């Protein structure tokens, strides 16, 4: 009977601890996923800032205002190089240049979480996520989002609403960052001090708990508060040395065990009744196990819904253990393989992303360093999905590498959203061509990398376009812009850059083969531009009204007419001016006579002959 009581107590405690530890681990993963999603969103927004003039207060405020109501952040703002902030509707949050998160983000050029908890206008505990805005390989500012912990609280609280439990987020020294406990004041500001002051646990247990927090290890602890026993599970959150502590009261468990002891003592002499009681208790224990299993399966489904896989690479035994949805990612259910078999699972990686796996192998098996990258993988549904791989090396007490943890997280939605935002930032919505800023950036980048390659910059201006808007209406004008963009795309190849740089003004940057002589380049250009002038000569109708438009085109040649975008544009614009002055519906390649301001009109053929 004594052995039975002890066994029952151990079973009940083991079930509770197992459930608590698994719940903490799963919610830690969900917490980390939520943080990464918000970081990914901020990086997409920062990419948008890299394409605008951040010294323009109106443009900066307008972009912030565009994104402000589309995120989980209570506040979204931009900080320039001097720490001056710009928020929604021109709101300023003061100068942040002296803050720790500003210095870390600007100097390192990486994403940062503020180490100290801030408070928003409603005094809700919050912290700041910040990512750098990089333009021309230089950090020119950062985008910041204030995320209050009540947003993350919704992710974690659902489990505790139906149990007598709560959670805390603490620093490694025990300082309490946030808790959803009903009586928050009982712990003061530091959970470690609370344990010591109230002698809530044994010295050996407190030492183990403190060392685990300092060394980023997870574990379990038993302590007492107001003469009541508590179970506490703690797991690192992988950010700012923060930990997630989940705590449950054991009142119901202790009461159930005490009642069981009393009943078993009373019926110890009646074996038949004892047998019946034993059956009932076993049934209750199994039911409890089923409930715990059901809860954990539900949490596992939530976690696995991201279609992710974690690889535990054992560098000593030279094998790899897998957890997560391996069937979706690799096309089969696997639990463990050797090193050689891993290569078989990477054959479906997109050809442009093969380098990612090579660098991952080097980080995991050779250099033992942290590594993060994105790549595309064809999954079991036959579609390419974006994954983010993160490698984390683990060392023993002698700082020898023993394991590597590599997580493959499905970030397809975030990457597609980021690509959509980048496309909107780079392309004109009406024509579908590059906008003015993106066109200039891509041309300048090509020139800097291909200094010996012959290219041509064209400025294409529609003649009489204003008459379409005035006579036929703006909807017909929009149709003419879209139609012109399609025709320009038909004439030039996919390697050329095409853009809309103004209302009725377009531009093209034509790239010739590197081995093509200049004379052939010019003749080839002459054919293309002649065809372009012909197809852009168009009549637009609206009932009994019509307007005829054509195109005037000015051209400059790289590197003969300039070695920078600005020089090429100025000379192509000068040639365009002379086309307009000479009667429109023509094209001219810039020459020195135009630069001298000659009054005569130069035909395209004269410009070609002089250049050749």
Summarize pLDDT for 32-70 with one digit per residue, the tens.
Answer: 888 888 888 899 889 888 888 888 888 888 888 888 877
Lowest mean pLDDT segment, chosen from 134-138, 260-264, 439-443, 531-535? 260-264
Within 8 A by CB and 6+ apart from 70, the residues are none
Within 8 A by CB and 6+ apart from 387, the residues are 308, 329, 374, 375, 376, 377, 408, 409, 410, 411, 412
**Which backbone phi and psi does 429 adopt, to 5 degrees?**
-70, -30
Residues 298, 314, single domain; the answer is no
Which residue has tokens 């960052």? 177
* Position 142 in a domain: yes
Among 28, 25, 68, 23, which Cα is nearest to 45's?
68
Residues 11, 98, single domain; the answer is no
Lowest mean pLDDT segment, chosen from 13-17, 213-217, 219-223? 13-17
Look at residue 570 and tell me whether its pLDDT is greater than 90. Answer: yes
Residues 297, 178, single domain; the answer is yes
Residue ending a domain, choose from 274, 303, 332: 303
Query: Which stretches within 131-270 are classed as H helix?
Result: 149-160, 191-197, 203-214, 251-266
Which residue has tokens 């000068």? 574
Q: For residue 384, what is the domain's CATH number?
A: 3.30.450.20
What angle is formed at CA 500 by the lines to CA 498 and CA 506, rounded to 5 degrees? 80
Residues 288, 165, single domain; the answer is yes
- What domain range is 439 assigned to? 427-611
* Position 15 in a domain: yes
Helix axes 251-266, 271-304, angle to 10 degrees: 160
Give the per-residue pLDDT at 158: 52
The 8-class DSSP code of residue 349 comes to B
Confidence of residue 606 (pLDDT cuts 50, 70, 90): very low
Residue ending a domain, choose from 359, 383, 412: 412
Structure tokens, 603 = 């035909």
Q: Mean of the pLDDT values across residues 499-516?
A: 93
Q: How far apart are CA 526 and CA 508, in angstroms?
A: 14
Q: Mean of the pLDDT values across residues 78-102?
A: 88
Query: pLDDT by residue (tens digit) across 151-178?
Result: 666 656 654 544 567 888 888 888 888 8
Cα 369 to the chain's mean position, in Å?
22
Helix (H) or strand (E) holding 142: strand 138-148
Residues 505, 545, single domain; the answer is yes
* Cis, bond preceding 446 (omega within 30 deg of 0): no
Query: pLDDT by residue (tens digit) across 114-142?
Result: 876 766 555 667 889 999 999 888 999 99
Give the per-residue pLDDT at 533: 94
Residues 250, 105, single domain; the answer is no
Residues 448, 537, single domain; the answer is yes
Q: How far apart are CA 270 and CA 414, in angstroms?
A: 66
Confidence of residue 505 (pLDDT cuts 50, 70, 90): very high
Residues 39, 159, single domain; the answer is no
Give the per-residue pLDDT at 226: 77
Give the per-residue pLDDT at 312: 82
Confidence of residue 93 (pLDDT cuts 50, 70, 90): confident
Query: pLDDT by residue (tens digit) across 224-253?
Result: 887 788 888 898 987 778 888 888 877 666
* Position 44 in a domain: yes
* Position 74 in a domain: yes
Residues 557, 481, single domain; the answer is yes
Cα 352 to the chain's mean position, in Å?
20
Give the per-residue pLDDT at 358: 83
* Position 606 in a domain: yes
Residues 164, 145, single domain; the answer is no
Residues 595, 449, single domain; the answer is yes
Look at residue 612 and tell me whether its pLDDT is greater than 50. Answer: no
Confidence of residue 595 (pLDDT cuts 50, 70, 90): low
What angle is formed at CA 288 by the lines to CA 284 and CA 292, rounded to 5 degrees? 170
What angle is formed at CA 331 by the lines to CA 328 and CA 336, rounded to 5 degrees? 95
Q: Mean of the pLDDT values across residues 519-538?
A: 93
* Position 420 in a domain: no
Q: How far apart are CA 578 and CA 557, in angstroms?
A: 17
How many CA atoms lie within 13 Å of 57's alpha carbon, on the beta-carbon side?
Answer: 7
Greatest Cα pair distance, the chain, in angstroms, is 124
The answer to whether the Cα torsion of 420, 425, 428, 433 is positive or negative is negative
Number of domains in the chain: 4
Q: How far apart are CA 309 and CA 388, in angstroms?
A: 11
Is-contact 231 250, C-beta < 8 A? yes
Q: For residue 557, what is the domain's CATH number?
A: 3.30.70.270
Residues 380, 445, single domain; the answer is no
Is-contact 164 252, C-beta < 8 A? yes
More confident residue, 545 or 345: 545
Residue ending a domain, choose from 367, 387, 412: 412
* Position 422 in a domain: no
Give the per-residue pLDDT at 255: 67
Q: Mean of the pLDDT values across residues 207-212?
A: 90
Helices vs strands, H then E, count in the chain: 19, 23
- Mean pLDDT, the chain, as a whole number? 82
Q: How far apart are CA 76 and CA 142, in angstroms?
A: 11
Instruction: Say what percent of the chain tops pLDDT 70.
Output: 84
* Position 143 in a domain: yes
Look at residue 433 and tell me whether its pLDDT is greater than 70. Answer: yes
Confidence of residue 605 (pLDDT cuts 50, 70, 90): very low
């Amino acid at each position: 009977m004594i052995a039975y009581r002890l066994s029952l107590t151990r079973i009940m405690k083991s079930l509770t601890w197992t459930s608590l530890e698994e719940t903490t681990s799963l919610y830690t993963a969900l917490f980390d996923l939520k943080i990464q999603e918000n970081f990914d969103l901020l990086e997409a927004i920062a990419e948008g800032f890299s394409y605008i003039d951040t010294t323009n207060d109106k443009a900066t405020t307008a972009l912030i205002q565009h994104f402000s109501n589309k995120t989980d952040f209570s506040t979204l703002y931009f900080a320039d190089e001097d720490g001056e902030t710009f928020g929604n509707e021109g709101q300023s949050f003061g100068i942040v240049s002296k803050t720790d998160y500003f210095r870390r983000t600007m100097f390192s050029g990486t994403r940062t979480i503020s180490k100290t908890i801030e408070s928003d206008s409603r005094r809700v505990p919050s912290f700041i996520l910040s990512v750098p805005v990089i333009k021309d390989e230089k950090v020119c500012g950062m985008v910041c989002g204030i995320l209050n912990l009540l947003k993350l609280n919704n992710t974690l609280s659902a489990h505790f609403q139906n149990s007598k439990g709560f959670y805390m987020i603490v620093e490694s020294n025990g300082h309490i960052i946030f808790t959803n406990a009903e009586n928050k004041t009982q712990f003061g500001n530091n959970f470690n001090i609370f344990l010591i002051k109230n002698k809530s646990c044994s010295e050996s247990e407190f030492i183990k708990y403190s060392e685990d927090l300092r060394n980023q290890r997870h574990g379990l602890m038993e302590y007492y508060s107001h003469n009541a026993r508590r179970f506490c599970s703690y797991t690192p959150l992988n950010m700012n040395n923060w930990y997630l502590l989940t705590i449950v009261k054991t009142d119901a468990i202790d009461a159930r065990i005490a009642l069981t002891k009393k009943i078993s003592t009373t019926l110890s002499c009646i074996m038949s009744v004892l047998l019946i009681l034993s059956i009932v208790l076993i049934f209750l224990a199994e039911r409890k196990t089923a409930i715990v299993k059901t809860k954990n399966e539900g949490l596992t489904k939530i976690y696995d819904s991201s279609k992710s896989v974690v690889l535990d690479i054992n560098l000593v035994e030279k094998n790899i253990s897998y957890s997560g949805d391996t069937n979706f990612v690799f096309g089969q259910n696997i639990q463990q393989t050797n090193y050689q078999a891993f290569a078989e699972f990477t054959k479906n990686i997109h050809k442009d992303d093969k380098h990612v796996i090579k660098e991952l192998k080097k980080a995991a098996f050779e250099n033992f360093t942290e590594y993060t990258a994105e790549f595309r993988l064809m999954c079991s549904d036959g579609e390419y999905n974006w994954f983010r791989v993160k490698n984390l090396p683990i060392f023993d007490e002698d700082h020898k590498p023993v394991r590597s943890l590599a997580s493959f997280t499905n970030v397809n939605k975030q990457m597609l959203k980021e690509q959509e935002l980048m496309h909107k930032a780079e392309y004109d919505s009406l024509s579908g061509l590059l906008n003015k800023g993106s066109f200039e950036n891509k041309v300048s980048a090509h020139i800097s990398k291909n200094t010996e390659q012959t290219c041509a910059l064209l400025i294409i201006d529609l003649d009489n376009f204003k008459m379409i808007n005035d006579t036929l209406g703006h909807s017909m004008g929009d149709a003419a812009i879209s139609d012109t963009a399609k025709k320009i795309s038909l004439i030039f190849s996919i390697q050329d850059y095409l853009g809309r740089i103004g209302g009725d003004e377009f531009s093209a940057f034509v790239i010739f083969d590197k081995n093509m002589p200049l004379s052939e380049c010019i003749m080839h250009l002459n054919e293309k531009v002649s065809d372009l002038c012909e197809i852009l000569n168009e009549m637009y109708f609206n009932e009994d009204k019509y307007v005829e438009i054509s195109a005037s085109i000015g051209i400059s040649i790289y590197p003969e007419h300039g070695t920078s975008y600005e020089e090429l544009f100025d000379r192509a614009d000068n040639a365009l001016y002379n086309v307009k002055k000479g009667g429109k519906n023509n094209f001219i390649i810039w020459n020195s006579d135009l630069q001298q301001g000659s009054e005569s009109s130069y035909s395209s053929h004269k410009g070609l002959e002089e250049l050749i």
